[in-house]
Amino acid sequence: MISHRTAIAAMLAALSFLGAGIAATAQSYPTHPIRLMVPFPPGGPTDVVARIVANSISPILGQSVVVESRPGGAGGTVGGKIVASADPDGYTLLISQAGALTITPSLYKLDYDPLKDFAPVAIIVQSPHILTVNPELPAHSLAEFIAYARANPGKINFASPGIGTQPHLLGELLQIVGNIKLVHVPYRGSAPAIIDLLAGQVQMMFDSPSVMLPHIEAGQLRALAVTSESRIAQIPDVPTVGEAGYPQLVTTFWTGLLAPAGTPQPIIQKLNAAINDGLKAPDVQASVHKLGVDTKAVTPQEFSAFMAAETHKWAQVVAQAGIKGE
Protein backbone atom coordinates (compact mmCIF):
# COMPACT_ATOMS: atom_id res chain seq x y z
CA MET A 1 0.00 0.00 0.00
CA ILE A 2 1.39 3.38 -1.03
CA SER A 3 1.86 5.74 1.91
CA HIS A 4 0.50 9.29 1.92
CA ARG A 5 4.06 10.65 1.95
CA THR A 6 5.05 8.49 -1.00
CA ALA A 7 2.00 9.63 -2.98
CA ILE A 8 2.84 13.28 -2.36
CA ALA A 9 6.44 12.72 -3.38
CA ALA A 10 5.32 11.04 -6.58
CA MET A 11 2.94 13.90 -7.36
CA LEU A 12 5.65 16.51 -6.77
CA ALA A 13 8.05 14.57 -8.99
CA ALA A 14 5.43 14.45 -11.74
CA LEU A 15 4.78 18.18 -11.46
CA SER A 16 8.51 18.87 -11.54
CA PHE A 17 8.86 16.74 -14.66
CA LEU A 18 5.92 18.51 -16.28
CA GLY A 19 7.34 21.92 -15.40
CA ALA A 20 10.71 20.97 -16.84
CA GLY A 21 9.00 19.80 -20.03
CA ILE A 22 7.10 23.09 -20.40
CA ALA A 23 10.26 25.09 -19.79
CA ALA A 24 12.14 23.07 -22.39
CA THR A 25 9.34 23.53 -24.91
CA ALA A 26 9.31 27.30 -24.34
CA GLN A 27 13.09 27.47 -24.66
CA SER A 28 13.02 25.85 -28.10
CA TYR A 29 9.84 27.70 -29.20
CA PRO A 30 9.20 28.43 -31.98
CA THR A 31 10.38 25.56 -34.15
CA HIS A 32 8.09 26.23 -37.13
CA PRO A 33 6.08 29.16 -38.60
CA ILE A 34 3.54 31.05 -36.51
CA ARG A 35 0.07 32.03 -37.78
CA LEU A 36 -1.30 35.46 -36.88
CA MET A 37 -5.06 35.34 -37.34
CA VAL A 38 -6.72 38.67 -38.22
CA PRO A 39 -10.53 38.49 -37.93
CA PHE A 40 -11.07 41.44 -40.28
CA PRO A 41 -10.69 42.03 -44.05
CA PRO A 42 -7.24 42.35 -45.65
CA GLY A 43 -5.97 45.90 -46.00
CA GLY A 44 -7.85 47.22 -42.96
CA PRO A 45 -6.08 48.85 -39.98
CA THR A 46 -5.88 45.65 -37.92
CA ASP A 47 -4.43 43.76 -40.89
CA VAL A 48 -1.84 46.51 -41.45
CA VAL A 49 -0.79 46.40 -37.78
CA ALA A 50 -0.57 42.60 -37.95
CA ARG A 51 1.83 42.77 -40.89
CA ILE A 52 4.01 45.33 -39.09
CA VAL A 53 4.11 42.99 -36.08
CA ALA A 54 4.86 39.93 -38.19
CA ASN A 55 7.82 41.65 -39.84
CA SER A 56 9.15 42.96 -36.52
CA ILE A 57 9.01 39.75 -34.46
CA SER A 58 10.02 37.22 -37.13
CA PRO A 59 13.77 38.02 -36.89
CA ILE A 60 13.57 38.01 -33.07
CA LEU A 61 11.87 34.61 -32.89
CA GLY A 62 13.83 33.11 -35.78
CA GLN A 63 10.74 31.85 -37.60
CA SER A 64 8.44 33.18 -40.28
CA VAL A 65 5.21 34.76 -39.01
CA VAL A 66 2.32 34.44 -41.45
CA VAL A 67 -0.65 36.81 -41.35
CA GLU A 68 -3.93 35.10 -42.19
CA SER A 69 -7.16 37.10 -42.62
CA ARG A 70 -10.36 35.35 -41.55
CA PRO A 71 -13.11 38.00 -41.62
CA GLY A 72 -16.72 37.20 -40.88
CA GLY A 73 -19.25 37.18 -38.09
CA ALA A 74 -20.24 40.01 -35.77
CA GLY A 75 -17.13 41.76 -34.51
CA GLY A 76 -14.74 39.36 -36.20
CA THR A 77 -16.05 36.25 -34.46
CA VAL A 78 -15.01 33.79 -37.18
CA GLY A 79 -11.29 34.42 -36.73
CA GLY A 80 -11.72 34.67 -32.99
CA LYS A 81 -13.35 31.25 -32.82
CA ILE A 82 -10.52 29.66 -34.82
CA VAL A 83 -7.92 30.87 -32.34
CA ALA A 84 -10.05 30.14 -29.27
CA SER A 85 -10.34 26.52 -30.49
CA ALA A 86 -6.69 26.14 -31.56
CA ASP A 87 -4.06 24.11 -29.73
CA PRO A 88 -2.49 26.24 -26.97
CA ASP A 89 1.03 25.82 -28.30
CA GLY A 90 1.86 29.37 -29.40
CA TYR A 91 1.58 28.69 -33.12
CA THR A 92 -1.89 30.10 -33.75
CA LEU A 93 -2.36 33.62 -32.41
CA LEU A 94 -5.00 36.33 -32.69
CA ILE A 95 -4.53 40.00 -33.47
CA SER A 96 -7.74 41.84 -32.72
CA GLN A 97 -8.99 45.14 -31.38
CA ALA A 98 -10.85 46.74 -28.51
CA GLY A 99 -14.39 46.55 -29.83
CA ALA A 100 -14.25 42.90 -30.89
CA LEU A 101 -12.72 41.78 -27.61
CA THR A 102 -14.48 43.93 -25.01
CA ILE A 103 -17.72 45.27 -26.55
CA THR A 104 -18.96 42.54 -28.90
CA PRO A 105 -19.45 40.01 -26.05
CA SER A 106 -22.10 42.31 -24.54
CA LEU A 107 -23.97 42.69 -27.84
CA TYR A 108 -23.92 39.22 -29.37
CA LYS A 109 -24.04 35.59 -28.27
CA LEU A 110 -20.58 34.24 -29.02
CA ASP A 111 -19.29 30.67 -29.23
CA TYR A 112 -16.39 31.69 -26.99
CA ASP A 113 -15.60 34.04 -24.11
CA PRO A 114 -12.67 36.40 -24.82
CA LEU A 115 -11.85 36.63 -21.11
CA LYS A 116 -11.79 32.85 -20.59
CA ASP A 117 -10.74 31.45 -23.94
CA PHE A 118 -7.78 33.71 -24.71
CA ALA A 119 -4.49 34.37 -22.94
CA PRO A 120 -3.63 38.06 -23.45
CA VAL A 121 -0.05 38.48 -24.66
CA ALA A 122 0.57 42.16 -25.44
CA ILE A 123 -1.06 45.42 -26.40
CA ILE A 124 0.49 46.45 -29.70
CA VAL A 125 -0.80 49.92 -30.48
CA GLN A 126 -3.35 52.33 -29.10
CA SER A 127 -4.96 55.63 -30.01
CA PRO A 128 -7.29 58.01 -28.16
CA HIS A 129 -10.50 59.42 -29.54
CA ILE A 130 -11.15 63.10 -30.04
CA LEU A 131 -14.50 64.59 -29.05
CA THR A 132 -15.18 66.87 -32.02
CA VAL A 133 -18.06 69.18 -32.90
CA ASN A 134 -19.21 71.14 -35.91
CA PRO A 135 -18.01 74.76 -35.43
CA GLU A 136 -21.61 76.01 -35.67
CA LEU A 137 -22.33 74.42 -32.30
CA PRO A 138 -21.89 77.09 -29.57
CA ALA A 139 -19.47 75.06 -27.45
CA HIS A 140 -15.73 75.59 -27.10
CA SER A 141 -15.10 73.17 -24.25
CA LEU A 142 -16.54 69.95 -22.87
CA ALA A 143 -18.14 71.90 -20.03
CA GLU A 144 -19.86 74.24 -22.50
CA PHE A 145 -21.00 71.25 -24.57
CA ILE A 146 -22.54 69.59 -21.50
CA ALA A 147 -24.27 72.83 -20.50
CA TYR A 148 -25.66 73.36 -24.00
CA ALA A 149 -26.84 69.74 -24.26
CA ARG A 150 -28.62 69.99 -20.91
CA ALA A 151 -30.36 73.15 -22.09
CA ASN A 152 -31.31 71.50 -25.38
CA PRO A 153 -32.18 67.85 -24.62
CA GLY A 154 -32.55 65.67 -27.69
CA LYS A 155 -31.48 68.43 -30.10
CA ILE A 156 -27.85 67.40 -30.62
CA ASN A 157 -27.18 64.55 -33.06
CA PHE A 158 -24.01 62.54 -32.51
CA ALA A 159 -22.56 60.36 -35.23
CA SER A 160 -20.72 57.06 -34.98
CA PRO A 161 -19.20 54.57 -37.44
CA GLY A 162 -21.91 52.09 -36.45
CA ILE A 163 -23.93 50.56 -33.63
CA GLY A 164 -21.72 48.94 -31.01
CA THR A 165 -18.52 50.65 -32.10
CA GLN A 166 -16.34 52.33 -29.50
CA PRO A 167 -17.28 55.86 -30.70
CA HIS A 168 -20.95 54.91 -30.33
CA LEU A 169 -20.48 53.64 -26.78
CA LEU A 170 -18.39 56.69 -25.89
CA GLY A 171 -21.32 58.86 -26.94
CA GLU A 172 -23.64 56.78 -24.77
CA LEU A 173 -21.21 56.99 -21.86
CA LEU A 174 -21.02 60.78 -22.30
CA GLN A 175 -24.80 60.93 -21.96
CA ILE A 176 -24.65 58.87 -18.77
CA VAL A 177 -21.85 60.73 -17.00
CA GLY A 178 -22.94 64.15 -18.28
CA ASN A 179 -26.64 63.57 -17.55
CA ILE A 180 -27.58 64.75 -21.04
CA LYS A 181 -29.78 63.50 -23.88
CA LEU A 182 -28.30 63.18 -27.37
CA VAL A 183 -29.60 61.49 -30.52
CA HIS A 184 -27.40 58.74 -31.93
CA VAL A 185 -27.05 58.59 -35.73
CA PRO A 186 -25.13 55.47 -36.80
CA TYR A 187 -23.30 55.28 -40.13
CA ARG A 188 -21.51 52.53 -42.01
CA GLY A 189 -18.00 53.66 -41.23
CA SER A 190 -16.29 56.91 -40.30
CA ALA A 191 -16.11 58.45 -43.78
CA PRO A 192 -19.86 59.07 -44.33
CA ALA A 193 -20.24 60.17 -40.71
CA ILE A 194 -17.49 62.77 -41.15
CA ILE A 195 -19.18 64.10 -44.31
CA ASP A 196 -22.40 64.78 -42.41
CA LEU A 197 -20.50 66.21 -39.42
CA LEU A 198 -18.77 68.68 -41.73
CA ALA A 199 -22.11 69.58 -43.29
CA GLY A 200 -23.79 70.09 -39.92
CA GLN A 201 -26.29 67.27 -40.38
CA VAL A 202 -24.90 65.88 -37.12
CA GLN A 203 -23.18 68.04 -34.52
CA MET A 204 -20.79 65.81 -32.56
CA MET A 205 -18.65 62.72 -32.96
CA PHE A 206 -15.87 60.75 -31.25
CA ASP A 207 -13.23 59.26 -33.52
CA SER A 208 -9.50 58.68 -33.83
CA PRO A 209 -6.87 61.38 -34.52
CA SER A 210 -6.10 59.85 -37.93
CA VAL A 211 -9.70 60.56 -38.95
CA MET A 212 -10.30 63.85 -37.14
CA LEU A 213 -7.01 65.74 -37.19
CA PRO A 214 -6.99 66.83 -40.87
CA HIS A 215 -10.39 68.51 -40.41
CA ILE A 216 -9.47 70.01 -37.04
CA GLU A 217 -6.23 71.45 -38.41
CA ALA A 218 -8.14 72.89 -41.39
CA GLY A 219 -10.56 74.64 -39.04
CA GLN A 220 -13.50 72.61 -40.36
CA LEU A 221 -14.16 70.93 -37.00
CA ARG A 222 -13.57 71.93 -33.38
CA ALA A 223 -11.87 69.59 -30.90
CA LEU A 224 -13.20 69.79 -27.35
CA ALA A 225 -11.28 67.01 -25.60
CA VAL A 226 -9.13 63.92 -26.12
CA THR A 227 -9.93 60.64 -24.37
CA SER A 228 -6.33 59.76 -23.50
CA GLU A 229 -4.82 60.22 -20.05
CA SER A 230 -2.46 62.88 -21.37
CA ARG A 231 -2.72 65.47 -24.13
CA ILE A 232 -1.58 64.54 -27.63
CA ALA A 233 1.25 66.30 -29.43
CA GLN A 234 -0.73 67.21 -32.54
CA ILE A 235 -3.27 69.34 -30.63
CA PRO A 236 -1.51 70.22 -27.34
CA ASP A 237 -4.00 72.97 -26.45
CA VAL A 238 -6.92 70.53 -26.35
CA PRO A 239 -7.45 69.18 -22.81
CA THR A 240 -8.03 65.58 -21.84
CA VAL A 241 -11.43 64.40 -20.68
CA GLY A 242 -9.91 64.00 -17.23
CA GLU A 243 -8.77 67.61 -17.17
CA ALA A 244 -12.28 68.59 -18.28
CA GLY A 245 -13.75 66.83 -15.26
CA TYR A 246 -14.88 63.54 -16.84
CA PRO A 247 -12.19 60.89 -16.20
CA GLN A 248 -14.83 58.18 -16.80
CA LEU A 249 -14.45 58.94 -20.50
CA VAL A 250 -10.76 57.97 -20.65
CA THR A 251 -10.68 55.43 -23.48
CA THR A 252 -8.23 54.21 -26.08
CA PHE A 253 -8.79 52.25 -29.25
CA TRP A 254 -6.21 49.47 -29.08
CA THR A 255 -5.01 46.42 -30.93
CA GLY A 256 -3.61 43.44 -29.06
CA LEU A 257 -2.09 39.99 -29.50
CA LEU A 258 -3.71 36.98 -27.80
CA ALA A 259 -3.08 33.25 -27.64
CA PRO A 260 -5.48 30.40 -26.88
CA ALA A 261 -6.15 29.91 -23.17
CA GLY A 262 -3.81 27.35 -21.67
CA THR A 263 -0.76 28.44 -23.66
CA PRO A 264 2.25 27.92 -21.36
CA GLN A 265 3.32 31.07 -19.56
CA PRO A 266 6.96 30.83 -20.74
CA ILE A 267 5.69 31.01 -24.34
CA ILE A 268 3.41 33.94 -23.48
CA GLN A 269 6.34 35.75 -21.88
CA LYS A 270 8.60 35.03 -24.86
CA LEU A 271 6.01 36.44 -27.28
CA ASN A 272 5.44 39.48 -25.06
CA ALA A 273 9.16 40.24 -25.01
CA ALA A 274 9.41 39.81 -28.80
CA ILE A 275 6.49 42.20 -29.36
CA ASN A 276 7.75 44.86 -26.96
CA ASP A 277 11.32 44.64 -28.29
CA GLY A 278 10.26 44.59 -31.94
CA LEU A 279 8.06 47.65 -31.57
CA LYS A 280 11.01 49.72 -30.32
CA ALA A 281 12.75 49.67 -33.71
CA PRO A 282 12.83 53.13 -35.38
CA ASP A 283 11.37 51.84 -38.66
CA VAL A 284 8.51 50.15 -36.79
CA GLN A 285 7.84 53.33 -34.82
CA ALA A 286 7.74 55.28 -38.07
CA SER A 287 5.29 52.79 -39.58
CA VAL A 288 2.85 52.88 -36.67
CA HIS A 289 3.00 56.66 -36.38
CA LYS A 290 1.92 56.91 -40.02
CA LEU A 291 -1.23 55.09 -38.94
CA GLY A 292 -1.88 57.72 -36.27
CA VAL A 293 -1.29 55.31 -33.38
CA ASP A 294 1.33 54.77 -30.67
CA THR A 295 2.91 51.61 -29.31
CA LYS A 296 2.03 50.45 -25.81
CA ALA A 297 4.36 48.12 -23.88
CA VAL A 298 2.60 46.17 -21.12
CA THR A 299 3.03 42.80 -19.44
CA PRO A 300 0.60 39.94 -20.14
CA GLN A 301 -0.77 40.36 -16.61
CA GLU A 302 -1.42 44.08 -17.15
CA PHE A 303 -3.12 43.37 -20.47
CA SER A 304 -5.31 40.71 -18.87
CA ALA A 305 -6.44 43.05 -16.08
CA PHE A 306 -7.04 45.85 -18.57
CA MET A 307 -9.19 43.64 -20.80
CA ALA A 308 -11.30 42.53 -17.86
CA ALA A 309 -11.84 46.13 -16.71
CA GLU A 310 -12.75 47.29 -20.22
CA THR A 311 -15.20 44.43 -20.71
CA HIS A 312 -16.94 45.29 -17.44
CA LYS A 313 -17.02 48.99 -18.31
CA TRP A 314 -18.62 48.52 -21.72
CA ALA A 315 -21.05 45.87 -20.47
CA GLN A 316 -22.40 48.45 -18.01
CA VAL A 317 -22.76 51.06 -20.77
CA VAL A 318 -24.54 48.58 -23.07
CA ALA A 319 -26.93 47.63 -20.27
CA GLN A 320 -27.65 51.20 -19.13
CA ALA A 321 -28.14 52.51 -22.67
CA GLY A 322 -30.19 49.47 -23.73
CA ILE A 323 -28.06 48.90 -26.84
CA LYS A 324 -28.90 45.92 -29.04
CA GLY A 325 -26.62 44.38 -31.66
CA GLU A 326 -27.64 44.75 -35.28
Q: Which residues of the chain have pLDDT under 70?
A: 1-25
The pLDDT, as a whole number, for residue 21 is 53
For CA atoms 88, 111, 48, 299, give the dihedral sign: negative
The pLDDT, as a whole number, for residue 232 is 95
For residue 293, the SS3 value is coil
The CATH class of the 33-126+252-321 domain is alpha beta
The pLDDT, as a whole number, for residue 230 is 95
The pLDDT, as a whole number, for residue 275 is 98
CA-wise closest residue to 137 among 123, 159, 157: 157
The pLDDT, as a whole number, for residue 13 is 52
Structural fold of domain 130-249: D-Maltodextrin-Binding Protein; domain 2 (3.40.190)
Contact (Cβ atoms closer than 8 angstroms) between residue 194 and residue 220: no
Q: What is the DSSP letter of 31?
A: S
The pLDDT, as a whole number, for residue 8 is 59
Contact (Cβ atoms closer than 8 angstroms) between residue 5 and residue 62: no
Fold match flag (33-126+252-321 vs 130-249): yes
The pLDDT, as a whole number, for residue 114 is 97
**pTM of structure:** 0.89
H helices present in the chain, as ranges: 4-28, 45-61, 77-84, 98, 104-107, 114-117, 142-151, 166-178, 190-199, 209-217, 265-278, 282-290, 300-321
Pairing of strands 130-133, 222-226: antiparallel
Those residues whose C-beta lies under 8 Å from the C-beta of residue 312, and which sit 6 or more positions away, are none
Integer Cα distance of 247 and 323 in angstroms: 23
The residue extents of the domains of the chain are 33-126+252-321, 130-249
The pLDDT, as a whole number, for residue 325 is 84
Per residue in 22-47, pLDDT (tens digit) is 566 678 999 999 999 999 999 999 99
